[in-house]
Structure formats: structure tokens, C-alpha cells
């Protein structure tokens, strides 16, 4: 069994046997356990009462957090040459047509998000096995298949991103960085929670959330009471 470091042991003592009913206290604990030598990401892990193998119990949507997630995104646009100037003006980092498809098929994926125009989707079908597992396959539901490139690029450049529940019904998603202010983290987490709540799958019966945890990328899990996010007051 691997021995825990002193830092890990000290962090575990700070949150041992504590389930936070106050979002402010939970964020305080989150930042107190952000003791790595780099600016850690902060994450939400929500276990939902869904079974994604059923079409009416799947969760896949997009959200734009008030303060972003503290990460710049490299966006690629797959479209025909007539739209290249439009994509460039919209702020796309990579623009291509068949040449971009060839790059992807060779395993050269140098972007965080792929946006495609509808006319290019049939050509992407064969790359589902490459893009699908990485969560990069464009889809109308996620807003990454678009006929309005400037508007779509603007939204994603401002911090819009896609998230989904995994095959066990758990949502794992970053909602900022440890050096964000408490208010910023509270507002981001509240917006993310509301997005999950508002996109409740139609097939869900009874209680939706099973458990909610937050953590830093190198810190311990901090559990929240299920009603901790229902009413939130901001700190100064």
C-alpha cells in the first residue's frame, strides 16, 4: 500500500468526517487543501440517479460559467474554404477542411474543441472512433455543429464548454482554479449546479442527486450536503 505524504495526511485531517452544509465553508476547506506547488484546478463530482444506457437518462449539455475555468482553449473549425475568413475573424485557432480531416485521421489532434459546419459532418463520420473517446466529436446538442461560426466561436471563447455524465452516472467537471476568489468559486459552482439541475433528464424518477463532492486536482474530496447549493449567499 502506497504511503501518503505529509501534505496529504495534513489535508485529510482538515476534512475528516465533515459534510458541509454551508457552501462558503466548503469553499474555505477547498482552498485550505490546495497545498500543491502549482495552481490547482477545482472540480465538482456529482453522482446522479441516472442510468446513461437509456436514452432518456443521459446528460450531455453545455454551460458558460460566470468567471470561466481559468484555462484558454484551442478551438479548431472544420468547414469548407468559403467559410475560412469567417472562422478566422471569429477567433478560430485552427481552420481546415479535408486537410484537417487527414490530420485527425493520423492522430494529430492539437486542439481542445472541434466545431464543424453541417456540410462537413458526413466526412467526419469515419473519425468517430478517434474523436468520440476524447469527447471531441461535434454534435448539434453540444452546440459544436454550427452554421453561425462567429457567434459559436465567441460563446466558446468566453468560456462555454460541454460536460456530460459518465457511464456510471457521475459528472466530473472543473469549475475554476484554486486561486479564484471565494465569490468566484461560489458563483461558478452554483451556476454549474443549476445547469445540471435544469438539464435533468426526462427519465429520472425521484431524487436526482445522490451525492456531491468538490476537490482540488491534488486534494482530498470534500462532501457537501445535498441542500448546500439550494440557497447560496456570497461572501465579501
Classify 76 as helix, strand or coil: strand
DSSP annotation of 93: S
| 179 and 75 Cβ atoms separated by less than 8 Å | no
Q: In this structure, are residues 127 and 105 in contact, taking their beta carbons and an 8 Å threshold?
A: yes
Secondary structure string (H, E, C) spanning 161-191: EEEEECCCCEEEEEEEECCCCHHHHHHHHHH
Give domain limits for the chain.
8-69+161-224, 75-158
Per-residue model confidence as pLDDT tens digits over 59-115:
988 899 999 888 888 999 999 999 999 999 999 999 999 999 999 999 999 999 999
pLDDT band at 16; cut points 50, 70, 90: low
pLDDT digit string, tens, across residues 56-71: 999 988 899 999 888 8
The whole-number pLDDT of residue 236 equals 39
Please state the pTM of the whole predicted model: 0.76
Fold match flag (8-69+161-224 vs 75-158): no
Closest CA to 80 of 110, 109, 123, 112: 123
Closest by alpha carbon to 216, among 183, 185, 187, 195? 185
Q: What is the CATH number of domain 75-158?
A: 3.40.50.790
The stretch 226-234 carries a mean pLDDT of 68
Q: Does an H or E element contain 115, and which?
A: strand 113-116
CATH number for region 8-69+161-224: 3.30.190.20
- pLDDT for the residue numbered 72: 83
Tens digits of residue pLDDT in 183-219 = 999 999 999 999 999 999 999 989 999 999 999 998 8
Q: Evaluate if residue 5 carries a pLDDT over 80.
A: no
The three-state secondary structure class of 135 is coil
Contact present, 12 and 220 (Cβ < 8 Å): yes
CA 200 vs CA 49, 176, 197: distances in Å: 10, 23, 5
What digits encode the pLDDT tens for the residues 118-168?
A: 999 999 988 988 998 888 999 988 889 999 999 999 989 888 888 999 999
Amino acid at each position: 500500500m502506497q504511503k501518503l505524504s505529509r501534505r496529504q495526511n495534513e489535508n485529510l485531517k482538515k476534512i475528516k468526517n465533515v459534510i458541509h452544509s454551508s457552501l462558503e465553508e466548503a469553499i474555505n476547506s477547498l482552498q485550505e487543501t490546495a497545498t500543491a506547488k502549482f495552481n490547482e484546478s477545482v472540480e465538482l463530482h456529482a453522482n446522479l440517479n441516472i442510468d446513461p444506457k437509456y436514452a432518456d437518462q443521459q446528460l450531455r449539455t453545455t454551460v458558460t460559467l460566470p468567471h470561466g475555468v481559468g484555462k484558454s482553449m484551442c478551438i479548431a473549425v472544420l468547414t469548407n474554404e468559403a467559410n475560412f475568413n469567417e472562422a478566422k475573424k471569429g477567433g478560430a485557432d485552427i481552420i481546415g477542411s479535408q486537410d484537417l480531416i487527414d490530420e485527425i485521421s493520423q492522430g494529430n489532434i492539437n486542439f481542445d474543441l472541434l466545431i464543424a459546419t453541417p456540410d462537413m459532418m458526413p466526412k467526419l463520420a469515419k473519425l468517430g472512433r478517434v474523436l468520440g473517446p476524447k469527447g471531441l466529436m461535434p454534435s448539434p446538442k453540444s452546440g459544436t455543429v454550427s452554421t453561425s461560426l462567429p457567434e459559436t466561436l465567441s460563446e466558446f471563447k468566453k468560456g462555454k464548454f460541454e460536460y456530460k455524465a459518465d457511464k456510471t452516472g457521475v459528472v466530473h467537471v472543473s469549475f475554476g482554479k484554486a486561486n479564484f476568489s471565494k465569490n468566484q468559486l461560489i458563483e461558478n459552482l452554483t451556476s454549474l449546479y443549476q445547469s445540471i439541475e435544469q438539464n435533468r433528464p426526462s427519465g429520472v424518477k425521484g431524487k436526482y442527486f445522490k451525492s456531491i463532492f468538490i476537490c482540488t486536482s491534488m486534494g482530498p474530496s470534500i462532501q457537501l450536503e445535498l441542500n448546500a447549493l439550494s440557497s447560496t449567499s456570497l461572501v465579501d
